[in-house]
Structure formats: C-alpha cells, structure tokens
Structure 1
Amino acid sequence: MKYRGEFLTGIIAILVGLLMAVPVFAADADTAPEAKSMEKMQVTSTRTQKKADLAPASVSVITKEDMEVMQINTIDEALRYEKGVYLDRPGGLGDALPATTMRGLPGDERSLVMVDGIPVNDPYSSLVPYNMIDPNAISQIEVVLGPGSALFGGNAVGGSVNLITKDPKELEAGGRLGCGTYNNQKAGAWVGDKVGERFTYRITMDWEAQEGYPTQLVTKTTKAGAATGISGGNEINYSVIAGTDQVAKRWVVGDKGDKNSERYGGTLRTTWKTTDTGKLTFMFMGGSHTYEYDAPHSYISDGSNFVFSGVAEAGSGQVTSKVNPKDFLAGKGSREYYAPSLKYEETVGNVDITAKLAWQKRNSWYTSLTGASSSETFYSAKGRYVASVDNEYLAEIQGDYEFEWMRKHVLTAGLYYKQGTFEQETTRLRYYQDEDSTWGGVVDLTEGDTTFLAPFLQVEWSLHDKVTLYTGARIDWWWAKNGKSGDPKDLAILEDKDKSAVSPRVSMVWEPVKDSTYVRASVAQAFKPPTIYDLFRTWYGSTGTLYKSNPDLDPETMWNYEVGVDQYLLNRKIKLGGTFIFSQIQDLITNYYEAPKVAKKTNVGKVDIIGFEADARVYPTDWMQFFVNYGRYESEIKEYELDKTVEGHSLLEFPRDLVKLGTDFRFWKFQYSIFGQYFGKTYWEDDNSYTDEETYMGYYPHWEWDTKLTFNATDKVHASVAVNNVFDEGEYWGGSVKAGQTVYGEIRFEM
C-alpha cells in the first residue's frame, strides 16, 4: 500500500519514544482504569430523559469512551459495530454521500439522523452530511432501532440516530494529530469552559485529507474474438450465473485515477442560564467536503506504451469489448454545510418547555461527462457542471407535564414545522475538470419545495412499579410543491402533491425483576414521504441511463410489531438481549427499469420483513469488556404490480445476516481492541439469483476485522495505532474498490 513503509516506521518510532518516556510519567503508573458501566441514559426513544434499560424500544448508547477504543475518522464510523446497522462507505473518505441503513431497509432516507434532536437528513434526497460533522463535537450517540415516526415523523422508519453534544463542566482543551495509509492526514482541536455559574462555551475543529487510491475500476465484458494488438489487465474472479447480468466475465483494463478528498468540520456551542430553570443554547455546525480524481491509469498496452483504446486480449481465447478513452473519466465535486440553531429550555409551573429554531443550508456541485465523444481524454473531454442549493427551516415546541392520577404519569406534547427548498442547475463545461469553464447558459433545471406540519402527543403511563405503558401518535401534513424539471426552454411544471399520515405507537416496558430483567413490546406505524429527488428530478447518468422522477408517488408506510427481552446476570456484569420483529411495508419507493437504460421511481405494493436480533455484552473485570450481536432480516416482496417476477424476492443492498463482535481491555498503560463484522448474502439485482460465492460488484459473505492499540502515556497524552480491514477483505464492493487494509496512527492530548 502507498506510503505504508514510511508510515509504519514513523509510528514505531513514536511508540518506542513514548515507552522510553514511561519513567517520566511514573507518578501516573498506579492509576487504575475506571469501572465500566452498562447503565446509560438516553432521550431519543421517548423525547424525555430515560434510562436506556427502560426505553420502549431497542436502544444502544455509544459514549465518548466507546468511540475512543475504535478508529473513527468520520462520525458515521462509530455506528459500524451496532446491531442492525449497516454502514455503506466503500470508498472511504472519498465517498461524497455515505449512507447508514437499519433493520433490513435499504437507503439512508429510511433512517433518521439528528444532532441534539434536530434532523439533518437533507430535503432533496434525505442523505446525511456525515463528512461535514466534526466527531470531536459529539459526546454521545443514541441509536434507536425500529420506527420512530410517532415522535419524529418521516425518515424514522428503520431507526433513528441522535448525535448528542454536551456542556463542559470545567476547562477542557485538547487536540489530535494523525496520519495513515494513502497519506491520510488528520488534525482536530477543541476548547471549552464553564464561565461563572451561567455561561458555557465549546469550540471544535476537525480537518482530514487523503491523497487517495483508485476507487473506480474500468471493466469490460469478455467474449470470443480477435484483439487489436493490445494486452494486459486482469480478470475479476466471480461466478457466472445464467439469466442475470452476470452472464459474462469482466476484465479490468484500468482505473479512473486516484480519488483524492479533503474535509473540514467545526462547531461552536454556547449556553446561557437565563434563570434558575431556564437555559438558552446556541449551536453552529459547519463543514465542507471535496473530492477529485487524478489522471486515470491504463493496465493494457501495445507492447511499448499503456493505451486507452482498442480491444484487449483477456486470456483463454477471449477479448474485451471495445475500450475507449472516455471509459476512464470521472468528475469532481464539493459540498458545504451550514447549520445554526437555537434551543430554549424552561420550566413553567409543572411543565418543562423546550423550543427549537434551526436553519440548515447545503451548497454542492459536481462535474461529469456529457456529450463527449468516445475519443476524448482526461485532458480534453467536455462535460457538465451541476450546482445545487437547499435550505431547510425548522421550528418546534415541546412540553412535558408530569401529572398524578392514582400514580404519576408524564404527558409529552408538541408541534413541529419544517420547510425545505431545493434548486439545481446544470450547465455545459468546455472542459469537464474545470468547473469554471461553463458556457451556453442553463441546460437543465430542477426545483421543488416540501413542507411539514405535525402535532405529536405521547403519554407515559406508570401502571405499576414494574410496568410502564406508552401511547402516542403524530399527524404529519405534508406538501410537495413548485416542482420544475427539464430544459428551461421547455420546462415541465410538475403537479403539487399533498398527503397526511397518522403514526401511532403503543409500547410497554415490564421489569419483572428489578435492575435485572426487562421485557419490551410495541406496535407502531411509520411513514416516509417521497423526497424532492423522487418527485421532481429527471436526469441522465454517466453511462447513459435515464433516471425518471415520478410526481405521482405515494408515501411509504410501515406497520412494525416487535417484542424484546434484556436480561442481566452476575450483578449486571453480563447482559443478554433478544428481539423479534415483523414489519409490513406498503408503497416502498424504488427504481423500476422500464427499459434497459430507463429507470423510473415507483411504489412497490407490499413488502414483509421478519427479523431477529440478539446481543450479549460481558464485563468480566473493570478493565475488560466483550460484546457480540447478530441480526437476521428476511425480506420478501409480496405484491408488485409492475413486475410480478420479483414477487417472492428479497430487497436489495442490505446484508441478510449481520454479525458484530469485539473486545477491548486495558493492561498497565495500554488499551487494546479488536472488532469483527460479518456481512451475509446481499442482493443487488432484482432476480436474487446470486449464490454465496464471490460476485461481480463484491456482494458476497465475508468477515472484516479492525484492531487498535493505544498507549496512555499519562491520563492526558495518548498514542495509538490502528489497522482497519486487517485481512484486506471485500475488495470490490458495490461498484467501488474498498480501501482494503489501512493503517492509521494518532497522538491525542488534553490539557
């Protein structure tokens, strides 16, 4: 791997130096690690502070300490070992739009992600700006599996993630510096303090850059025939399966160049205690992410030079289909994110009131090829420039009222409003690598707005010392309007859309043995409206495929039934859990191919998912923990009017089986962790015909292992070295070449 030798030498030198410095820090040598605790608090499943054990849903809490034992460069990577969660980031830092999906439901748009309870899924396609959220700002992550629409509305179908920031209690400052494979460089810093009795502040910054590697291979199908005097490249090893797109081998003739990327993230958080019971919080998040490709590489030659055109020998009497220079080209892009917000908390009589105001803005652009002839090259090809901006405005008020009627109960009620706007313009480029070489004016336009208005209500009924019942519902009125798409000279004005959805939930938590046994059961409905992209965006991909919007789409709805048990043993040193799930989805939104290169958004009639989740966590000592979790999700398309042949098949792009396990332990000044993930069979074509063998695009069952060693020189200075994907598995995954085995070293210090 690139830079690996120099990097490992540097890391070894750092660790040796720290080990030699141990006597200097001898005063800290007898510092014992703090005992770990399984008792954690969360707010996401109920909108009120609640012990995670007593939550009416399957909840896990990731603390700052938990994150430190993993190698996390972007905040979504903290989720990769959580049960039921699938992290889709095959291209590493270069991925412009990574996704997190939950409980067998593909697509980031079916998982709600929030920062301090404020949704950050964008209004255009419901994607999340993971690359632009500063990990140094996040103190806790709460993961709730299952529908949350009764409290949070759309997107909260497969589950919800809440990234929590916190107030400093005293002066805290620190930083981190790291580097790794592919000249990955990272720096971060933070400072915060409590000033007097009423004011706190915290500022964080984070930067990361990577010179990159070839994430996009150039492949060609093979056939019998004669080559044009060129050879080279290699075959992708996978099984050929009749009746599928995988009926021919693919030969790698090159790549589209090293994909370089850079990101920034930062936050400013201040709080002011306005009264004895009131607090005003201001938060600003911002960030950017850019990516671009270096010149492409060809693996085929004419005997003297590498070439980018012709028909190449592909072994065993086979040749490739025709290779063209245009095949090797990929564009560049950039995204920016700004998100100021205000939150005011106050207690008036017996009512706790929380009010939020937020604004989020995203600017993005990318370049791609269009209208270029097959002979044009990296240095001459024409292209297009696609620039967009979306704004989202949010207001919410919530009241929590504790009342007594034979026993004490809690009423939570609120009103939620959100409006999102989106504008996108496409212009032609004289040179596709130069975003400033536009000419001829706008050739394609997409616009649209969405508005949500939703009251919500929940009552937490204390039926018994050991039984709590939750009943609640949310009504979402949703409008999509001002849709426009196409050539500005012949612009299509699309029909406005409006719908309403009621999302009820009934949940019960029973604690038959105090502090030991917890039983949960729930019935809930969730909904997800179509995005602006689904309704209004029609465009051509780089391969010539036409992706058509559909303003007639209906929202997705899902009924979910589940029951779960958590059991603690040996004075809470061991936790065992299991959950059974049955989900019925109606009107799932997906792509339907009307023709080989024409895809249109449509609603699938009915889909069922049957799932089972199990997990165990063991704390045998104060300095060690072990966990393992397993999720199995069997999905079946029950009704699909447009294509009866896929009825009985599974949903795509989510592993049927997910296993995560790991351990971390401390000895003297060292902390060591090792984590593994197993990805089961994953389908990427509607026919579901692939076996468990390796397949083209890489969706085959496999394990991946990550490890990290940290040396705590003092309680303020830490050095670590981490190896992700230790055995270099899953090389070609979902169309992108994975980073493979990567090594990363870091020094973290606090003041």
Structure 2
Amino acid sequence: MANASLVVFTLLSTQTRAQEALPEIEIAVDAATKTPVAKEKAPASVTVITGEQIEKGVSGRIGDILKTTPGIYMRGSAYDLTRPGNSVGTLTMRGIPGASRTMMLVDGVPLNSPYAATIDYSTIPTTGIDRIEVVPGAFSSLYGTNAMGGLISITTKKPEKREFGFTTAVGGFATGNQVTGDSLTERVTAYYRDRYENGLGVSLNFSGSNSAGYGDEFATKAATTTSPGAASVVPVCCLQMIPTSSGGVTTLLGNRGERPWNTYNVRGQLYYDVDEHTKLTAGTSFGHSYNGYSAPTSAALNGAGFPVYNGWVSFLDQSGGLRRINLSDTSANAFLSFTPAGEWTSRTFLRGEAKIGDVTIKAGVNYTVGDAWFVSPVARSVLLAAPTGIWIGGPGTYSPAQQERMIGNLQADIPIVQSNLLTIGMQYQRERFDRDVSDLADHKDPYSKTGAVSYSTHGRSSTLAFFAQDKFDVTDWLTVYVGGRYDNWRTSGSTWQTRSPVQSSLPLFSNIYPDRGAEAFSPKASAVLTFEQLTLRASVGRAFNTPQLFQMYTRSQTTLTNYTDGDPNLRPEKVTSWEIGFDYRFAETGTRVRATYYENQLYDLIYTYATALPGGVTQNSRTNAGRARVKGVEAGIEQALGFIAEGLTGFANVTHNDSLMVRNFAQPASVGSRLTFTPEWMVNWGLAYSAGPWSAELNGRYTSKVYSDDQNRDTFYGIPTAYDPFFTMDTKVSYAFSENLKASIIVTNLLDKEYYQFYLQPRRAVFGEIAYHF
C-alpha cells in the first residue's frame, strides 16, 4: 500500500493488554539495554506484559499471550490446541519472517534451538512468569545472531515469600468433533516459591498438557483421466476435486488422522543473596513434547461402503467426468505422515552479579542440550487393510537432531560520571548437532530401529564476541545510546550417505567441510527525548543472522517426494534498520497512544529454490540470493473506560507491513512479490473488566493473507495447505470465591471460524479452569 496510506495509521499505538487500571509508565525494563532503565527511556518501543495480565488473560501457550502484541505474527505450535513441534511453529516480527531471525529468551537463556534456531513454543512455560518484554528492532549490537527482528525476553518470578499454587483446566471443541477428533485437552500447572532467612530462595514450576488431538492435515493427490493399463481399478464414490492454494486442481482423498499429543515442562531455580551487593542464581529446566499417530480416514468408499486406501481407483468428479487416481504409487501412499515425532530440551544456567564500588559485574554460563526427532515412511510402506481397518505397517526411517549449546557471558556496567553509563562485555558461544538416520522396521514405531544407518551429518560452530554500549543522559530530557558488537563466527561439518535395507537405492556420497568463518560488526545508535507526557524515540542499527547448522550440513525431508539439501558455504544474513516513534499520555482522560514507523533493508537472505528430478521428486537447494525491504508502522491506543463501567479498560492496535522482494537471482520471478509469512495487516483489540470477585477479558485479532509461495501464487482460501486471512475472538470470565480460589470459563475462537494456516486450525473450544494458591 502507498506510503500515504501508512501515515493514516501513525496516529496510535499501545501495549497489548487492557488492565484493571492503566499502570504508571515508570516500569523498569532491561532487555533493550542489558541494564535496568525506565521504560519511557528505553531505546525501543518496548511492550511489557505482566504476570498479572497473563493470569487474567487467555493464556494457554506463549502465542496466546503474545497474539495481540503489535508487530508479531505467530502460527502453529505457538497456540493452544495445536500440536507441538518446532517444525509447525514460526514467528514473524517487524515484517522479518522466521523464528531464527527473532531471539527468544527465558531468564537470559536463548530458546532458539542450536540446530535450526527454531522453537517448540508448546514447551515454553507460561506459569511463574513475572513479565515479558517484547523489544522490536535490530538488536545484534547487544545479542548477536538471531536478533534481526528483535527479541522477546521472559523473566520468571523471584521468590519473595512462601507461595504455592496450581491450576487445572479441561476442555475441547464445543461444536462437536472436528474432522475425526474430539480434542479433549487437559492442562495442569503448579508452582512453589519460598524465600528463607539465610538469603536462599527456591522456585519450582511445572506445566503439562495432554490432548486427544484432531485431524488437522488432509491427504490430497492429482487425478488423471488416462488409463492405468493392466492395473485393477476399483470404482469408488465420494472423492472430491478441490482447488490447490495456487489455483491448480487436486483430489481430496481424506484426512491423515488425529494427532494426539502431550507436553510438559519442569523448571527449578535457586537464588542466593550473599550480601546486599552480591547475588547468585542457578536453574535448570526440562521441556518435552510428543506427537502421536492414529489411523487416517479415506473418503474413497467401494461398492460395499468400506474405505479404500491402496491401489488404483476411479470416480466421477463434480462435473460427471471419469477420473482415476493411484492411492499407493511409487512416491508412497498419500495418507502417510511424519508422525510419531517428539522433542526434548534441557537448559541449565548459573549466573552471578556483584557490585564492586560503583561498578556492577555480571557473569553467567548456560548449557542447552536436546533432540528433535521424526519418522518418515518410504514408498514400500503399506497402509490400512480394508475392510478390516487393521494397520499393516511398513518400513521407514528415524531422523533425530541431537544438539548442544554452551554460552559464557561476562559484562561490566561502569558509571563514567553520574549521567554516563558504559556497558562492556564479551560472549563465547559453541554449538553442535549430530544426525544419524536409522532404518525402522515399522515407521509408526520409533523403537523399531534395525541398527542400519543410511545418512549421517554433523555440524559445529563457535562465536567469540565483544560488545559495548554507552548510555549518556545529555540533559534531563535527552538520553543517547551508542554501541556495537563484534562477532567472529567459525563453523565446520561433514556428511555422508550410504545404502541400507530400507534405503536401498540412495546415491552415495561423503563430504568433509573444512573450518571457515565470517565476521560481523553490528553498530546501533538511539536517541530518546522524554517530557512530562511525551516520549520521542529514534534509532538506527545493523543486525545479522548466521546460517543455521541444519541449513549448511543436512538434508531435510519436506514431504515424501520433496527434500532440501544444505549448503556448507552459506553466509550470514544482514539487515539495516531504522525507526522513529512516540508515546503520548493524556493524564486527564487516562489515554495513551503510541506510534512507530520503521524500515528494514535485508541483504543476503538465505533462499530455497527448487529443481525437478526424475520420478516426480523435487530437490530444493539453499543459497544467499535475496534482498528485500520492509516498511511498516505499528499504532494503537489504550484507554481507561471508567465512564462506561468502573473497572473497564480497552485497547486497540494495528500493524501494517509493506514488504517487497527486491532481488533474488535464484528465483527472479519472486522479485516484486511480498515476503512469505509476512501479513500486510494485523489488527487487535480488547476489553478487560475487573470489579469485586469478577474479572473478564475479550480479545479480537485480524490477520490478513500471508503467502507461503515466494511468487505469491497461493491466493486461494479455505482449502488444505492454504493460508487464510482470519478474524478470531477469545474470552475468559473468572470469579474469585475467595482470595485463594478462582474459577474461570475460557472460550477460544468464539465465533467458530474455520480457517487454515496450512493445517486446519482449531474451531471453537470451551475450557473450565480452577486455580488455587496460598
């Protein structure tokens, strides 16, 4: 949309959650500077979501908490009722798509995986959170890689006294079974916090969920009007021709089955105050998710009324034309899916802070280890035996992604004079991954490994970085930040492939990739003018994103006939960003407005292009081919509505992204198209009410069409694999029986919208929740 239309939306901006009363702006935040600073003096348009807001809101997962935050688009495992896994969840921030390009942290420990910088959002704990700081903009100047779009920093509650609490919720779809599942879902959270007289504190948190799942993925396949020759053709009914998202035609064969799943997260932390100026914190967490399997449902019914899953079938399409289709050709059965699948991550950290004179020293180390695995069927796999519906099974492969990261940090905050604070620091980071693809006797049983390995790949990287930032209060109303970070990145890897009993026709290769590296300098400068009711901000900076280990050294299977090869010579992606914005607070009316205009110029974007191979196989390759730009605005309003009803507040915000692919020598046809997974418009609004024992929240959000195709050809809506524009509403109503006991009713997708974000999204669901604490 033209820039003139953007200006219309620079009138307003806001925090994302309406509250009991609009809080004072004198909130201390630290993610944008790595030192505590008043929120109105922060060099970014920081959105703060408090623990109290999370408890009152509809907050099953982290995406439910962040979904009305300006500038953020999330999908997949970020939201409640959707199945877990890093491969089905992603994040776009400030129009920059991809979870690897936005950093997410819990208590300073990165959540982006060492292997692919993706995140299994379902395992992020939403209990025991003190606050979440959403900090948009280029922040490699302090954080290095993964901070192109910004960062999301979660801070957990520190123990101040003895507290214990738990919540339990049970619910499911309110409109009957969704496709083939009832999605009965149970959630439990519990916490214990205590502070002892000797300065020791402890915090224990648990969250877990279990769901029967639902059928979110459909089996489709192109039909033909040609004869299959001597093959036996079974006449069937009930198959439908539907459009593809890019305007082609395919056949809807049925549903690939329910995806039962479960997740849990355990976190424990110790706090010890040695004295007033010296504090130690140690913690560990373990998160786990699992996607199960259930039999698919075929829409093809033979003359006896039994479903058909294998072989050639013929049917009449909607216009009466005779069509034929092979349900189990050499590319493997159309009903097969990449489940079961699972993921686990363990994170441990030790952090200390000491004040020596006027200088504050901070040091820490954290260690992350985990695995993300999935199964793959092969062409010889057999599906259901009709009419009995018995699973026969078949061979497959087991693909893990064992990964590890270690980070050490050292930082000093040095007051030069009363109005000047210098922050200097260094960081060392080391990452590795190993993947050995094993044969499975039965691809639905991950424990049926035969011992044969057909593919092996390994990758290593290390980064040594130094950073500095100077915060200078020029006057009482003007603060200037100037800083930068130098990163030296090294990487190496190897990969080989051989034949195995299951993978008997693979091409053979063996490669060792020598050590190589790159350097990056990420400067940033910001100015903040603060008056009694007005804050003005401006900043400019550069950021980068190193190639992920999986992008360089691994072959990933996208579908049964589609795979992507790594490129060991990929370079870091880069962005130059600038923004300007304001906050204004109307003391008389309890109104706050905020607006930010930003531009991102992206270079050396890692791009995937496709090559068609014999046998209907598609090979995808990666390269640094893209240049793009994003122009955007975030705007909104937050208002106390006591003149309507005491205890009522409201908010509204809008984000507009004008994204454009400027150059792409790997796929020239994409030039001039919008960036994938970057919505042009996002509009959010909400009301919150609190009076006596009652509290309630109602939120709505609209997200315009996003494209998964780099040429923006996927324009059809309301069909499997499409990305639909959508508007949904959620609500939560709570009643406190006492200071300790509260009951709530939660309704998600209140309007019962049916829409796709590649997978079919959850319809209306209702939960009952009980929370107790003392």
TM-score by length of 1: 0.90
Structure 2 residue matching 1:155: 3-state secondary structure: coil
**Aligned-pair distance for 1:374?**
6.6
8 Å CA contact 1:550, 1:601 repeated in 2: yes
8 Å CA contact 1:637, 1:646 repeated in 2: yes
8 Å CA contact 2:435, 2:456 repeated in 1: yes
> 2:641 matched to which residue of 1?
620
- In structure 2, the CA distance between the partners of 1:343 and 1:571, relative to structure 1 (3 Å rule), is farther
Q: Which amino acid aligns with 2:214?
A: Y
Distance (whole Å) between structure 1 residues aligned to residue 196 and residue 556 of structure 2: 53
Q: Which amino acid aligns with 1:89?
A: G
> 2:502 matched to which residue of 1?
none
8 Å CA contact 2:382, 2:392 repeated in 1: no
Matched, 1:73 2:96: no
Structure 1 residue matching 2:371: 3-state secondary structure: strand
Structure 1 residue matching 2:474: 3-state secondary structure: strand
Distance (whole Å) between structure 1 residues aligned to residue 248 and residue 661 of structure 2: 28
For residue 353 of structure 1, the aligned residue among 353, 356, 361 is 361
Q: Which amino acid aligns with 2:652?
A: V
**Aligned-pair distance for 1:639?**
1.4
Distance (whole Å) between structure 1 residues aligned to residue 754 and residue 356 of structure 2: 56
8 Å CA contact 1:396, 1:415 repeated in 2: yes
Distance (whole Å) between structure 2 residues aligned to residue 400 and residue 381 of structure 1: 60
For residue 423 of structure 1, the aligned residue among 434, 438, 442 is 434
State the identity as a percent.
25
**Aligned-pair distance for 1:695?**
6.0
CA deviation vs aligned residue, 1:198-247 (integer Å, no higher than 9, x gap): 111111111110011112111234566798421114555x6x7xxxx733
> 2:513 matched to which residue of 1?
494
Matched, 1:747 2:747: no
**Aligned-pair distance for 1:676?**
0.9
Matched, 1:712 2:723: no
For residue 462 of structure 1, the aligned residue among 473, 476, 487 is 473
> 2:272 matched to which residue of 1?
272
CA deviation vs aligned residue, 1:454-474 (integer Å, no higher than 9, x gap): 110000011111000000000
Q: Which amino acid aligns with 2:760?
A: V
8 Å CA contact 2:718, 2:755 repeated in 1: no
For residue 432 of structure 1, the aligned residue among 440, 443, 449 is 443
Distance (whole Å) between structure 2 residues aligned to residue 692 and residue 249 of structure 1: 11
**Aligned-pair distance for 1:693?**
5.5
**Aligned-pair distance for 1:57?**
0.7
- In structure 2, the CA distance between the partners of 1:553 and 1:146, relative to structure 1 (3 Å rule), is same
**Aligned-pair distance for 1:70?**
2.3
> 1:609 matched to which residue of 2?
630
Q: Which amino acid aligns with 1:326?
A: N
Shifted more, 589-598 versus 119-128: the winner is 589-598
Structure 1 residue matching 2:419: 3-state secondary structure: strand
CA deviation vs aligned residue, 1:487-541 (integer Å, no higher than 9, x gap): 4974221243300100000000011x32x10010001000001000111112444
**Structure 2: gaps spanning 5 or more residues:** 1-18, 173-182, 228-232, 386-390, 500-507
Q: Which amino acid aligns with 1:138?
A: I
Structure 2 residue matching 1:311: 3-state secondary structure: strand
Q: Which amino acid aligns with 1:105?
A: I
**Structure 1: gaps spanning 5 or more residues:** 1-32
Distance (whole Å) between structure 2 residues aligned to residue 724 and residue 698 of structure 1: 21
> 1:398 matched to which residue of 2?
411
Matched, 1:135 2:126: yes
CA deviation vs aligned residue, 1:87-128 (integer Å, no higher than 9, x gap): 111684413112222111111001101111221211210012
Distance (whole Å) between structure 1 residues aligned to residue 717 and residue 372 of structure 2: 39
Q: Which amino acid aligns with 1:706?
A: D
Point out which structure has higher relative CO (alpha carbons under 8 A, 6+ apart): 2
**Aligned-pair distance for 1:588?**
0.7
Structure 1 residue matching 2:274: 3-state secondary structure: coil
Q: Which amino acid aligns with 1:52?
A: K
> 2:610 matched to which residue of 1?
593
> 1:261 matched to which residue of 2?
261
Shifted more, 373-382 versus 610-619: the winner is 373-382
Q: Which amino acid aligns with 1:655?
A: P
8 Å CA contact 2:82, 2:762 repeated in 1: no
Distance (whole Å) between structure 1 residues aligned to residue 527 and residue 494 of structure 2: 43
8 Å CA contact 1:426, 1:442 repeated in 2: yes
For residue 322 of structure 1, the aligned residue among 316, 320, 326 is 326
8 Å CA contact 1:193, 1:202 repeated in 2: yes
**Aligned-pair distance for 1:322?**
2.8
**Aligned-pair distance for 1:668?**
3.7
CA deviation vs aligned residue, 1:171-222 (integer Å, no higher than 9, x gap): 1100011111111011111111110051111111111100111121112345
Distance (whole Å) between structure 2 residues aligned to residue 439 and residue 579 of structure 1: 57
Q: Which amino acid aligns with 2:33?
A: T
Q: Which amino acid aligns with 1:615?
A: G
Matched, 1:629 2:632: no
**Aligned-pair distance for 1:36?**
4.1
> 1:446 matched to which residue of 2?
457
CA deviation vs aligned residue, 1:307-359 (integer Å, no higher than 9, x gap): 11323433222446432382112220121111111010100111111111111
Distance (whole Å) between structure 2 residues aligned to residue 203 and residue 641 of structure 1: 52
CA deviation vs aligned residue, 1:656-699 (integer Å, no higher than 9, x gap): 11111111112442212111111112112122245586565232
**Aligned-pair distance for 1:375?**
6.5
For residue 540 of structure 2, the aligned residue among 515, 520, 523 is 523
> 1:6 matched to which residue of 2?
none
> 2:592 matched to which residue of 1?
575
For residue 107 of structure 1, the aligned residue among 98, 110, 117 is 98
Structure 2 residue matching 1:456: 3-state secondary structure: strand
Q: Which amino acid aligns with 1:648?
A: G
Structure 1 residue matching 2:334: 3-state secondary structure: helix
8 Å CA contact 2:85, 2:121 repeated in 1: no
Structure 1 residue matching 2:186: 3-state secondary structure: strand
For residue 336 of structure 1, the aligned residue among 323, 344, 350 is 344
> 1:535 matched to which residue of 2?
552
8 Å CA contact 1:332, 1:368 repeated in 2: no
8 Å CA contact 1:77, 1:87 repeated in 2: no
- In structure 2, the CA distance between the partners of 1:572 and 1:536, relative to structure 1 (3 Å rule), is farther
Q: Which amino acid aligns with 2:220?
A: T
Matched, 1:88 2:88: no
> 1:684 matched to which residue of 2?
708
**Aligned-pair distance for 1:250?**
3.5
> 2:208 matched to which residue of 1?
207
8 Å CA contact 1:123, 1:450 repeated in 2: no
Q: Which amino acid aligns with 1:293?
A: Y
Structure 2 residue matching 1:464: 3-state secondary structure: coil
> 1:728 matched to which residue of 2?
752
8 Å CA contact 2:22, 2:590 repeated in 1: no
For residue 679 of structure 2, the aligned residue among 649, 652, 655 is 655
Number of equivalent positions: 708
8 Å CA contact 1:133, 1:266 repeated in 2: no
Structure 2 residue matching 1:65: 3-state secondary structure: helix
> 2:761 matched to which residue of 1?
738
> 2:402 matched to which residue of 1?
389
8 Å CA contact 2:699, 2:729 repeated in 1: yes
Q: Which amino acid aligns with 1:745?
A: G
8 Å CA contact 2:722, 2:757 repeated in 1: yes
> 2:161 matched to which residue of 1?
170
Distance (whole Å) between structure 1 residues aligned to residue 627 and residue 745 of structure 2: 48
8 Å CA contact 1:583, 1:610 repeated in 2: yes
> 1:194 matched to which residue of 2?
195
Distance (whole Å) between structure 2 residues aligned to residue 392 and residue 616 of structure 1: 41
Structure 2 residue matching 1:678: 3-state secondary structure: strand
8 Å CA contact 1:481, 1:496 repeated in 2: yes
**Aligned-pair distance for 1:248?**
2.7
- In structure 2, the CA distance between the partners of 1:225 and 1:629, relative to structure 1 (3 Å rule), is farther
8 Å CA contact 2:600, 2:630 repeated in 1: yes
Structure 1 residue matching 2:161: 3-state secondary structure: coil
8 Å CA contact 1:192, 1:201 repeated in 2: yes
Shifted more, 689-698 versus 572-581: the winner is 689-698
CA deviation vs aligned residue, 1:699-744 (integer Å, no higher than 9, x gap): 232211111111121221111111111223253222x121222211
Distance (whole Å) between structure 1 residues aligned to residue 383 and residue 167 of structure 2: 47
**Aligned-pair distance for 1:35?**
4.1
Distance (whole Å) between structure 2 residues aligned to residue 67 and residue 233 of structure 1: 45
Matched, 1:313 2:316: yes
Distance (whole Å) between structure 2 residues aligned to residue 57 and residue 322 of structure 1: 56
TM-score by length of 2: 0.88
- In structure 2, the CA distance between the partners of 1:126 and 1:387, relative to structure 1 (3 Å rule), is same
